[in-house]
Amino acid sequence: MLTTTKMHVKAREERRLTMRRIAIRNLRSPKPVKPRLFDLVMDGKDSYLEIKNKNNENDVVYIKDVFDQIVESDKPPPIRRYHRKKRGTA
């Protein structure tokens, strides 16, 4: 049986494992207090970014989507072939 102290430690550990919010700051800023860019929220298996917009609302972007776009940007662009229109046709 768990004692009260062990129960509190276990409950705190479960809360810590279920959701974490980490403030991501611009470390290269010249300001003494580095400005917060967005929050990284780690919730179990999901991780996402909460970005505050101009209306003081949070935009949610899943981190997997961000990483997928970064990987895609490293690939060469597809070759597009343009066909010239023949003269005298509408």
Backbone phi and psi for residue 19, each to the nearest 5 degrees, phi listed first? -150, 135
- The predicted structure's pLDDT at residue 38: 92
- The predicted structure's pLDDT at residue 90: 57
pLDDT per residue, tens digit, the chain (90 aa), is 455 666 666 666 666 667 889 999 999 999 999 999 999 999 888 899 999 888 888 899 999 999 999 998 888 877 877 777 777 665
- The predicted structure's pLDDT at residue 58: 86
3-state secondary structure of 62: strand
Cross-strand pairs, 43: 19, 46
Secondary element (H or E) of residue 42? strand 36-43
The 10 Å Cβ neighbour count of residue 83 is: 5
